[in-house]
Amino acid sequence: MPKYGMVIDLNKCSSCQACVTACKIENNVQIVSEYDAQHGRAMFWMKMLTMEFEGDYPNIRPKTLPRNCMQCDEPSCIKVCPVRATYKNEVGIVAQIYPQCIGCRYCMANCPYTVKVFNWDRNEQPKEVEKCYDPDVSVRPKGVVEKCTFCIHRLQIASEKAKAEHRDMEPGDYVPACVETCPVDAISFGDLDDKKSEVSKESRDYRSFALLDELGTVPKVRYLNAIE
């Protein structure tokens, strides 16, 4: 079984936020009300963060990074879920079973990366957004937690297609929307266990680092440091 992972090259990333938009549209992530958004309840599975500024004005640069679910190999969220609504599947993706979620938000509290979001309400979506819903992804109801799933529906479609064509899945058959969209190919995705894959090579690059690596969550989303 492959072990899917992602490497985001911050040297290539242009902070354009196309990955954020692609994720929002692909996964039918809810547009919350103005009130909710202004009260910390905006829902994004992928977010562009400004971590810090390096240097002093005018020789100053912000350190920005796109951040989604780290798809930990030792995920702290699944350990606290009382109903097993979140679990790690056989290809290493930390997935969610929405109908099983009771909305206790323990997993949100236990995620050190604060990447999970809660459906506080089911806001009426703009008509033009509803018409563009991705038919492959279910819309989550009020009261459940959601997060990046590495566009797991795409894996399902890709594996069914490969099966129908009587072949094994090939690298590139399955990529999440953010990877497909990135204008500068800053995001690599694939099987970390395949030593020949680009993502595997990059994850072992000298520039590679993971967020909060010291916690032992073993994130499968890694970053390549920008070259100064």
Partner 1 sequence: MEMNRRDFAKLLGGSLIGFAVGGAGDALLKIPGMVVPLLYSGPHVETWKVTTCAKCPGKCGLRVRMIDKFPVQAFGNPLSPMNKGGICPMGLTSVENLYHPDRLTSPMKKVNGRFQEISYAEAYGILTNALSSNGKGKAAFVAQTDSAFMGGLIKQLMAGLESEKVVVDNFASSSSMPFDRAAADHPDFIDFESCDYIVNFGSQLTEISESPLYFSRSMNDFRAKRNEFSTFSPKLTPDAYKANRWVPVSPEFYVDVALGLAYVILTDGTYDKTFVGNEFKDFDGFKKLVMENYSPAAVESRTGVASKYLIETARKFANASAPVAYFDESILYSSSGMRNAYAVVALNALKGFAGYGKLKDRELPDFENKKENESPQSSWNSRMLIGDKDIKILMIYRSNFVFNSPGQDDLRKAISDIPMVISFSPFIDETSELADLIIPDHDDLEKLDAFSSTVTGAPVISTQQPVVKPFYSTVHTGDVIVSLIADLKLSKNWSCKKYEDYLQSYLKPVYKHGKGMLMNQQKPTGLEKSLHQAGWQMASYSSFDEFWQQMLKHGGWWDPFPQTSKYKPAVSLTVDHLTANGRGDQPGKNARGNSLKLNIFHRNFDYRGNMLRNPVLTEQFGMDKDVYYETWIEINPATAKRLSVGDRTKVKVKTGKGAFEAFVIYNPAVVPANIDVPFGLGHTASKKVYGVNPMQYSDAVFDEETGKPSLSETEVKIV
CA–CA separation, 196 and 155 (whole Å): 20
Does 173 engage in binding with partner 1 (CB under 8 A)? no
User: Does residue 121 interact with partner 1 by CB under 8 A?
Assistant: no
Using alpha carbons only, give the angle 137, 140, 145 rounded to the nearest 5 degrees: 115
Tokens of 57: 């004005």
Q: Does 31 bind partner 1 (CB under 8 A)?
A: yes
Q: Does residue 64 bind partner 1 (CB under 8 A)?
A: yes
Residue 196 binds to partner 1 (criterion: CB under 8 A): no
Q: What angle do CA 21, 25, 28 make, to 5 degrees?
A: 135
Q: Is 110 in the site for partner 1 (CB under 8 A)?
A: no
Instruction: Give the separation between CA 99 and CA 105, rounded to whole angstroms.
Output: 14
- Measured from the CB atom, is 17 or 89 closer to partner 1? 17
How many angstroms separate the Cα of 114 from the Cα of each of 27, 30, 71, 130, 212? 19, 18, 12, 27, 12
Q: What tokens were used for 97?
A: 């079973």
Residue 181 CB, nearest distance to partner 1 (Å)? 6
Taking the complex as a whole, the smallest distance from the CB of residue 42 to partner 1 amounts, in Å, to: 6
Characterize 60-79 residue by residue with b for buried, 16 or more Cβ atoms within 10 angstroms of its Cβ, and e for exposed.
eeeebbbbbbbbbbebbbbe
Q: Which of 2, 3, 25, 73 binds partner 1 (CB under 8 A)?
A: 25
Among 1, 124, 127, 170, binds partner 1 (CB under 8 A): 127
The site for partner 1, by CB under 8 A, has a size of 49
Shortest Å, Cβ 175 to partner 1 = 11
In the complex with partner 1, which residue's Cβ is closer, 18 or 104?
18
Q: Pick from 5, 6, 7, 24: which binds partner 1 (CB under 8 A)?
A: 24
Q: Name the amino acid, one letter, at 102.
A: I
Q: Does 122 engage in binding with partner 1 (CB under 8 A)?
A: no
Strand partners, 72: none
Question: 18: closest CA among 184, 199, 227?
Answer: 184
**Of these, 87, 98, 106, 133, which contacts partner 1 (CB under 8 A)?**
133
Binding residues for partner 1, rule: CB under 8 A, are 11-12, 14-18, 20-22, 24-26, 31-32, 34, 37-38, 42, 44, 47-50, 53, 56-62, 64, 125-129, 131-135, 180-185
